[in-house]
Amino acid sequence: MRESGGFLDDVLVGLRGEQKTLPCKYLYDERGSQLFEDICELTEYYPTRTEFGIMNTFVEDMARHLGESVLLIEYGSGNSRKTRLLLDAMRAPVGYVPIDISREILKESASAIEKRFPGLEVFPICADYLMPVSIPEPGVLVARRIVYFPGSTIGNFKPDEALEFLKRVASQVGEGGGILIGVDLKKESGVLKRAYDDRKGVTAAFNRNLLARINRELAGDFPEDKFRHEALWNKEQGRIEMHLICEEACRVTLGPESIVFYAGESIVTEYAYKYEVEEFQSLASKAGFTPQALWTDPGEMFSVHYLDVTLSAG
């Protein structure tokens, strides 16, 4: 398995900006991944259980749209629980390529898939899926490539970044390929804020764990107890913003640099954009995808879309 680097450089670039930021992909070390699993079990955090409900209800129909002899590629595969539901329903998939930045989680989930589907070729890749990744080819004929991107992770991209990402996916799967993708929908702001700032403080621990990781892996000296978690709904931009707010002025040494924080200054660690169905489909269409199917829960809290790259005429 291959893995990507650049942690220190990415952190320093983010902290040099007028609005300090940290890339959300680094939230998911082993501790962060476990905390996120805990978040998914919280009452306030509706996306995971709602998407599971959609999958349980409609997975046979999803599999019918995907077809048979598929090479399934999953970006940010995590524990692959939803993937097992999908693979159970699919007709003769020929391979599974989980791509994740967290090596330990990837190893565990790939092993679990191999045991559950002994005839399926599994090709785990430890990498940042935003970087160029070479996709292995199974030993049998592949009818089409399908990217599976659940969990509303598309919301972590700004709209222009989401467009570029979807263009890369379209290029990777090629004509006749497709994407099965989870997209969180716009809803009442209180529901959204509670989902990202739970009463038990699990999301706060998840967010602050990024500072602990920087201290541990990059020899930083962030005073972790001086930063508090806050989730804000930005109605104009249509997104939840996760911040770490510095409550007391401090100076942090990181690599060759010394970074000053004033009291009240924030670090943005994650954006979570929410969409109307038509908004997302329009965005995907600009990237070269044609919407083919849509599944939602009864309350229309969450959506799963299947879109494909339509074959050229002739």
For position 313, what pLDDT does the model report?
42
Residue 305 in tokens: 């879309």
For position 312, what pLDDT does the model report?
55
Domain 46-187+275-308 coded CATH 3.40.50.150: yes
Cβ atoms 240, 231 nearer than 8 A: yes
Taking phi over 0 as left and psi of -120 to 50 as alpha, with beta for the rest, 152 belongs to left
Cβ atoms 33, 105 nearer than 8 A: yes
pTM of the model: 0.91
Q: DSSP readout, 113-180?
A: HHHH-TTSEE--EES-TTS--PPP--SS--SEEEEEE-TTGGGGS-HHHHHHHHHHHHHHH-TT-EEE
pLDDT in tens, 130-178: 887 888 888 889 999 999 999 899 999 999 999 999 999 999 999 999 9
Cβ atoms 89, 62 nearer than 8 A: yes
For position 40, what pLDDT does the model report?
92
Q: Which residue spans of the chain are classified as CATH 3.40.50.150?
A: 46-187+275-308
Residue 309 pLDDT more than 90? yes
